[in-house]
Structure 1
Amino acid sequence: MVITEESTVRRILVEGIDGVSVETVPTPTAGTGEVRVRSTVVGICGSDIHAAHGRHPFIDLPFRPGHEVVGVVDAAGPGTDQSLVGRRVVVEPNLACGKCTQCLAGRYNICAELAVFGCQTPGGLTDAFVIAEDRVIPLDDGLDDRHAALIEPLATPVHAVRRAAKLVGGLDGKRVAVLGAGPIGLFVLLAARRAGATVVVADLLDSKRARAERLGAIGSFDPTSEDAARSAIEVLGGPADVVIDCVARKSSVAQAIDIVDKGGAVMIVGVAAGATEVPLDLIQDREIVVAGCLMYVREDVQEAIDMLTEGAVPIDEFVTGVFPLEQSAEAFTASTDPEHVKVLITVGDPS
């Protein structure tokens, strides 16, 4: 890749779902401990769409998105590994303090001062950005940009499945129900199957349920049907050991409690819009564990890379739209269509 030094770069500004525009800002300079990355591919996350609609509890409008980022390091500041220049990298966007109790325990995904690149700070949906050196992971040439763009969104489901496995003594041979067949739900399906689980998936749309079955779910069900919980249990051959809720609404949590076995676990992966009522009486009476799941740590990212490298993710089932940066407004609009799974934005020259 031939890199030229420009005085300005393009960056996407989101002021609302109908207010996605391109702004021009000075080209950033890598400071001490930082690298500068030229973006090549950036994914649009469900969180980006919720934020654009003003419905994300932790992202304020306006914001400058881009936390699912693949790019090439074109400059390295003082105190960094200069051999990174020219390397293709993926960004791990959780920005942690490194000093709090959680960070010191290795759980920096729930850092007391956590910020997320592209959510609480300007992100990678731009020609170039700077970020701390330890937030970039060099990529092997065998993983192309379309696959690499799925590393970040896959890492959260990997983390959720790993946490769930710890709660129930492993998932090999266990029964799992996944609520929601959007990108996160489908990635949870793949990660749970990789861990040895039998999986059933719920979604409102026939097309999404069909995709889940193509990806290995033994069955699927409409969560709004009167016998939804019974259908899930019948398909699984018994109550679920784990339910992973990628919707996170009052109705989905209640349904998860109806589907999960006594002594089982419910993992909340979806981002709730706010305080949500839960059937606490049943949680107590059945000794059900309800656990939250936020982002991931490096081992989850590496597992996601391994899954993609090994071909465990059918790329054409996930990447359903690709737009250039100058059409970011159209890309955001496309991402609101439930028939899309993952929309990517290309930046600059991908060669």
Structure 2
Amino acid sequence: MLPATYSTIELVNGTVSVRSVPFPHDALGADTVVIKPRYLGICRADTKEVVGSRDIPTDRGPLFGHELVGFVAFAGADTGFTEGERVTFNPNVTPNRTTGFAEYLFVRGTAPTLDRTVVRSPDILDDIWMPEPFACIVHAVRKLLELVEWPSFDGRRVGVIGAGCSGLMFAMYAKHLGASVVVFNRGEMRRDFAADRKLLAADEIAPLDQAAGHAGEFDVVIVVPTIATPALLAVAGGLAADGGVLQVYGGTRKGDRFPGTDADVDTIRRRELLEPVAHQGKLLHVSGAYGCGKEDYEEAFRLHAEHPDDFPLARLVSRRISLAEFPELVTAIAAETVDHPGKVVIDLAR
């Protein structure tokens, strides 16, 4: 039975709060799917929207509240879904939805649009991990391989800048595809988390300030942090071998350029291009990846189910909180007064 009221998170001018609002029973149409999340993930894109430092695409809308796993609580007659189905959510399709940071998420669209937006999920609730961002990492790696026309990373050397949740997923996938991997991270906390959770071996993680000692070692360097600054891009260029590939996955903004060149890294990332640049006497190829599709979620589920040892994704969860705890924590993370390694999830049963 659907409730009379429900709790939702509101973000207004940088202020995050919990509100109890009427459940819109009269707005449940034939084109509506209502999802009751069980777990929600906090993404760095969410914190960027809190402080207003993220460019919001007009074709996708805000991301605030997009990582989740739950169940269909209501399915309109034309949606193709049924109540009780276990689902996750792809925010890269339609902006016609409410925030996922709530006890209920409302998504509206045509049946084909909903089929790409609301993605059926296997049972991962007992050992929870977030299908998004892993689907985005799957998409990014497959796009890179497509652009450079490689069948895999077999025998390749891959460097990853950033040991957050996404960086560690990149490392898992690159190793699965045959690469040797080193993940570089500035702060000790994330390096220790990766080692303590046995996500990386000792020789697979290094301080970012030691990057100069690995100059020219990598066939591929993936730049993962929330903001792909010119300084990080320059470090990535130094790590790459002559002829190497740099993939820009981390956040960019309109007008961003690769250091010392006219290469527009924001356009390269959002349009998933591959462009040559000259850097430190080397010819490099800068690529990008952006978003994901239903097929990437399905491949993510397959990889985890068939290769659980290669993808210990549940070990990435570092903390569980309640919805009531979320406003204070996300505000502190956005203000950079608090930080957590791995993935913080909101457990709506708490």
2:120 paired with 1:127: no
Count the aligned residue pairs. Answer: 313
- Once the two structures are TM-superposed, the CA of residue 67 in structure 1 deviates from its matched residue by 0.4
Q: Percent identity?
A: 27
Looking at structure 2, the residues matched to 292 and 12 of structure 1 have their Cα atoms a distance apart, in angstroms, of 32
SS across alignment from 1:294:
coil
Looking at structure 2, the residues matched to 153 and 210 of structure 1 have their Cα atoms a distance apart, in angstroms, of 22
- Once the two structures are TM-superposed, the CA of residue 190 in structure 1 deviates from its matched residue by 0.9
Summarize the Cα distance change of 1:42–1:192 in structure 2 as closer, same or farther, 3 Å threshold.
Answer: same
Aligned partner of 1:228 among 211, 217, 221: 211
Looking at structure 1, the residues matched to 342 and 41 of structure 2 have their Cα atoms a distance apart, in angstroms, of 11
Equivalent residue for 2:277?
A: 283
- Once the two structures are TM-superposed, the CA of residue 20 in structure 1 deviates from its matched residue by 3.2
Equivalent residue for 1:270?
A: 250
Q: Which amino acid aligns with 2:212?
A: A
Looking at structure 2, the residues matched to 59 and 22 of structure 1 have their Cα atoms a distance apart, in angstroms, of 26
Q: Which amino acid aligns with 1:294?
A: Y
2:212 paired with 1:241: no
SS across alignment from 1:326:
coil
Aligned partner of 1:219 among 204, 214, 225: 204
2:13 paired with 1:12: no
Contact 1:193 1:216 in 2 (8 A): no
Looking at structure 2, the residues matched to 126 and 52 of structure 1 have their Cα atoms a distance apart, in angstroms, of 16
Summarize the Cα distance change of 1:257–1:287 in structure 2 as closer, same or farther, 3 Å threshold.
Answer: same
Contact 1:334 1:343 in 2 (8 A): no
Contact 2:46 2:63 in 1 (8 A): no
- Once the two structures are TM-superposed, the CA of residue 206 in structure 1 deviates from its matched residue by 1.9
Summarize the Cα distance change of 1:278–1:140 in structure 2 as closer, same or farther, 3 Å threshold.
Answer: closer
- Once the two structures are TM-superposed, the CA of residue 12 in structure 1 deviates from its matched residue by 0.3
Aligned partner of 2:192 among 210, 224, 231: 210
Equivalent residue for 2:302?
A: 306
SS across alignment from 2:105:
strand
Contact 2:243 2:283 in 1 (8 A): yes
Looking at structure 1, the residues matched to 168 and 83 of structure 2 have their Cα atoms a distance apart, in angstroms, of 35
Q: Deviations over 1:286-311 (max 9, x none)?
A: 33211121111222212221233342
Contact 2:190 2:341 in 1 (8 A): no
Q: Which amino acid aligns with 1:181?
A: A
* Higher deviation after alignment, 157-166 or 335-344: 335-344
- Once the two structures are TM-superposed, the CA of residue 163 in structure 1 deviates from its matched residue by 2.0
SS across alignment from 2:141:
helix
Q: Deviations over 1:40-97 (max 9, x none)?
A: 111111100121122212289xx78310111111221122335x2111111122225x
- Once the two structures are TM-superposed, the CA of residue 270 in structure 1 deviates from its matched residue by 0.6
Looking at structure 2, the residues matched to 175 and 144 of structure 1 have their Cα atoms a distance apart, in angstroms, of 34
Equivalent residue for 2:80?
A: 81
Summarize the Cα distance change of 1:10–1:150 in structure 2 as closer, same or farther, 3 Å threshold.
Answer: same
Q: Which amino acid aligns with 2:92?
A: N
Summarize the Cα distance change of 1:90–1:7 in structure 2 as closer, same or farther, 3 Å threshold.
Answer: same
Looking at structure 2, the residues matched to 211 and 199 of structure 1 have their Cα atoms a distance apart, in angstroms, of 17
Equivalent residue for 2:125?
A: 144
RMSD: 2.8
- Once the two structures are TM-superposed, the CA of residue 316 in structure 1 deviates from its matched residue by 5.2
Summarize the Cα distance change of 1:13–1:81 in structure 2 as closer, same or farther, 3 Å threshold.
Answer: same
Looking at structure 2, the residues matched to 193 and 64 of structure 1 have their Cα atoms a distance apart, in angstroms, of 29
What pairs with 1:29-40 in structure 2 (closer than 5 Å)? 29-40=27-38
Q: Deviations over 1:225-258 (max 9, x none)?
A: 3x5232x34xxxx621111001211111111111
Looking at structure 2, the residues matched to 320 and 15 of structure 1 have their Cα atoms a distance apart, in angstroms, of 28
Looking at structure 1, the residues matched to 288 and 304 of structure 2 have their Cα atoms a distance apart, in angstroms, of 25
What pairs with 1:52-91 in structure 2 (closer than 5 Å)? 52-58=50-56, 65-81=64-80, 84-91=82-89
Aligned partner of 2:288 among 271, 286, 292: 292
Equivalent residue for 2:266?
A: none
Equivalent residue for 2:341?
A: 340
SS across alignment from 1:163:
helix
Looking at structure 2, the residues matched to 334 and 341 of structure 1 have their Cα atoms a distance apart, in angstroms, of 16
Q: Which amino acid aligns with 1:228?
A: A
Contact 2:189 2:341 in 1 (8 A): no
- Once the two structures are TM-superposed, the CA of residue 221 in structure 1 deviates from its matched residue by 2.5
SS across alignment from 1:178:
strand
Looking at structure 1, the residues matched to 37 and 284 of structure 2 have their Cα atoms a distance apart, in angstroms, of 44
Summarize the Cα distance change of 1:66–1:145 in structure 2 as closer, same or farther, 3 Å threshold.
Answer: farther
In structure 2, list runs of 5 or more residues that go unmatched: 262-275
Equivalent residue for 1:198?
A: 180
- For normalisation by structure 2, the TM-score amounts to 0.79
Contact 2:37 2:70 in 1 (8 A): yes
- Once the two structures are TM-superposed, the CA of residue 203 in structure 1 deviates from its matched residue by 0.7
Looking at structure 2, the residues matched to 168 and 212 of structure 1 have their Cα atoms a distance apart, in angstroms, of 31
